Chain A
Amino acid sequence: MTQERKIKVLLSKLGVDVHWRGVVTVARMLRDAGMEVVYIGNANPPEIIEAAIQEGADVVGVSTLCGAELSLGSELIDLAKQKGLTDNSLLLIGGVFPRSHTLKLKEFGFDGVFEPGATREEIVSLIKNAIEGKEAVK
């Protein structure tokens, strides 16, 4: 079993958004939960996907508060699918966006969409359960 292996998370600000309180908070939460976190700062979808592949990330989490969640979010998912990243990795997005966008982001294929107020437990357990699920399939 690979249960002892640390879950590796790649976090990024999606696009050129300037706010990073949220992503920094989540980075610490995941580290506290025993995961290995790599935060790469601001990046556009192609850079994020490339970094995720290079790092061999189990989880790719992006944060945005500026309104570009739909355009960049769908680009990110499309690229992840093209590169086969969605088979083995989780894709998560969090930030400030309207509720209708939350639904759309789920439709795009994000494994988790976190609005403001999402709790540590929600985020950590979603990751752990989903990773266990993926490992079990293997």
Chain B
Amino acid sequence: MLEQEKTTKQILEEREEELKRERIPLYSPEALKVIEEELGKWKKTRFREDQLRNWELVTSNVLGSEIPKKLLYTPVDASELDYVKDIGFSGQEPFTRGIHPNMYRGRFATLRPLGGGGVSAGHTEDQNTRFKVQIENGATGLNVAYADLSLLQLCGSDDPRMEGQVGLIAYPIDSVDDTHIAFKDIPIDKISASYIGHYPTNCTVGFAQYLVMAEERGIPWDKLPSSMQNDVVMENAVRAGMDYLPTKDVFRIQCDNAEFVRKNVPQCNFVTLNGYNLREFGTSGVTEIAVAFANAIDMLKEFQRRGLDPGWMAERIAFFWSIGNDFFDEVARLRAARRLWYKIIKYQFGSNNPRAMWSRMAAQTSGVALRREEPYNNIARAALQSLACILGGVQSFHTDSYDEAYSHPTAIASLIALRTQEIIECEAGVREVVDPLGGSFYIEALTNEYERKILDELDEIQHQGGIVAIIESGWLRRKVVEFLNREQKLIEDGKIKIVGYNCYKTDEKLPGIEEVKYAEGVREKQLEKIKKLKDMRDNEKVREALDELIKACRNGGNVMEYCVKAARVRATTQETFGAIKEAFGLWKPPLSY
């Protein structure tokens, strides 16, 4: 069997077998023996029969863990630990405790608000105002939602299907001109912009416009700290949409974007594999990571095929996780993900580049954990989840607003979310010590368990042929549907308790919440701008650029490179998406439920 064809699990297991003899156990066999004896006595003398029968319980909460928990953990539960090899020190292998030596003492996690600063959707001009308010309020990174519904559906505001639906959840961008409006006076060479074009197809069109905007402002591309999602799972498995491109082509665009950005925009994380939305759609914390890793691994293999060094490419891969209610599981999961990623880079791809081994993580508190009933309770939920983000060692995080079960966030709700993060930063006393839960028998046992489970699921995915295969076959979607229906039943049966919904309900009316106001006339304004643009630009050049783009899609040129060319001559968003759709044709995804 060729090395390439082995699954990650097979490769790591062979490696671990080799390394077994070199392990130095943290706990001595003598100590473990005594602990085990004492544990046995304690259980026997202090507990009733029924208590012992229920020794292991599964916690029950939204997006919760499926791992049974003992009443108490001892070194016996993590008996195989080798301190240096499994836990170690922050900023060095195996990175379990964090990717940077100084962690939050050096720099706290980037606070990235999604909403806030006036209306959180509407006219392109409003986005500019919002950025400025966010920066004034202390935001250290911007979330650029290239996420108006038109863009999420791979079209522009002028697509006829968009009537009445432009500017509802973000801001339209219909050409480079709109990108200029959105970023006017924003120091994009100083503040990092997370470009939430979730989808590869959407990044290839939108980030190209962003790059052209920077170019026209005289800001060199190598001065742009930024990141983008660029994730095929988001485009073809998580999104409910009208137009889908074939999955293998979307994966290819994802890799094209990565290659182009790595070569031309060196400070940009060219993918932020989005576990978040997959998990919020409905998957376990294990599947979330296994799917993202499967995607990353397939991408690195494709880079190898293209003659690119996987270690160099992996320097700019980042991840985005959902942080749910199961506090300790969330912390352990992040630790496990860091350790497993390090092993993948080192043993599967043979790279010793520490930056490649860093599993850089953005996180967001769970949206589906928020409730409409007694909405202010959501502030407490988001605060606990935010704390888990920090104890889990993330690089940037976003705290959800309490009103998200009503509409997208109002200004006041967004500000409270940002303040929650700042209170954790300044008042909670949690940034001074690295990985403070590390060494807890419970956390270490859970970390090991998560690493095993993620690896097992990764194996299952790779046996099916990898990331493209599990989307095409509908496996991933069926998995999601099974998960969310099971969870729904548990909530209905009251097994998952939700305060204010199925337990501790009150008849007392809580104060209503302010509702967001939707902007009006956004599409009309965009249509006018597009019409003007078409009158002003050189339409022949646009046609040529779009033809070149179609050719590149079909003949294997880099898709983003040709999108940049099209953006320069002011091809509109609708036209650029249109060319890509024409080149690849459309796919019908399975709609099982």
Q: Cα distance A119–B368 when bound, in Å?
A: 16
A71, closest chain B residue (CB): B164
Which residue of the partner chain A has the closest CB to B408? A67
Contact of A18 with B164 in the complex, beta carbons under 8 Å = no
Distance in angstroms between the alpha carbons of A11 and B488 in the assembled complex: 19
User: Are A17 and B240 in contact, CB atoms less than 8 angstroms apart?
Assistant: yes
Q: Taking CB as reference atom, which chain A residue is nearest B515?
A: A98
CB pair B169–A41 under 8 Å, yes or no, is: no
- B104: min CB distance to chain A, Å: 33
Shortest CB distance A67–B (Å): 4
Instruction: From the candidates A44, A97, A117, name the one contacting B161 in the complex (CB within 8 A).
Output: A44
Q: Once bound together, how far apart are the Cα atoms of A27 and B481, in whole Å?
A: 10
Main secondary structure of the interface of B (DSSP, over half): loop
Is A72 part of the contact surface with B, judged by Cβ < 8 Å? yes
- On chain A, the number of residues with a Cβ less than 8 Å from chain B's Cβ atoms is 37
Q: 8 closest pairs, A vs B, by CB?
A: A67-B168, A20-B240, A71-B164, A98-B515, A27-B593, A116-B372, A24-B593, A16-B153
Binary flags per residue of B475-490, CB closer than 8 Å to A gives 1, else 0: 0000001001100100
Interface pairs (21), CB distance under 8 Å:
A15-B164, A16-B150, A16-B162, A17-B149, A20-B281, A23-B240, A25-B484, A25-B488, A27-B593, A28-B481, A66-B165, A67-B165, A67-B169, A67-B407, A67-B518, A68-B164, A71-B164, A96-B406, A98-B516, A116-B405, A117-B372
Q: What 1/0 mask marks residues of chain A from 11 to 55 whose CB sits below 8 Å from any chain B CB?
A: 001011111110111011101000001011110100000000000
What separation, in Å, do the CA atoms of A27 and B242 have in the docked complex? 19
Q: For chain B, which range describes its interface: under 10, 10 to 19, 20 to 34, or 35 or more residues?
A: 35 or more
Q: Determine how close the nearest CB of chain B comes to the CB of A92; give it in whole angstroms.
A: 16
Q: What residues of B have a CB within 8 angstroms of the CB of A41 in the complex?
A: 240, 242, 591
Q: B407 — which chain A residues lie within 8 A by C-beta?
A: 67, 96-98
Q: Which of A13, A28, A66 contacts B169 (CB 8 A)?
A: A66
Chain A interface residues (CB < 8 Å from chain B): 13, 15-21, 23-25, 27-29, 31, 37, 39-42, 44, 66-68, 71-72, 75, 96-100, 115-117, 119-120
**Given the known A-B contacts A25-B484, A96-B407, A100-B515, are A66 and B591 also in contact in the complex, defined by CB atoms under 8 Å?**
no
B492 near A115: Cβ-Cβ < 8 Å = no
In B155-209, the 8 Å CB interface with A consists of: 161-162, 164-165, 168-169
With A16-B149, A66-B168 in contact, is A99–B515 under 8 Å at CB?
A: yes
Q: Are B484 and A117 in contact (CB under 8 A)?
A: no
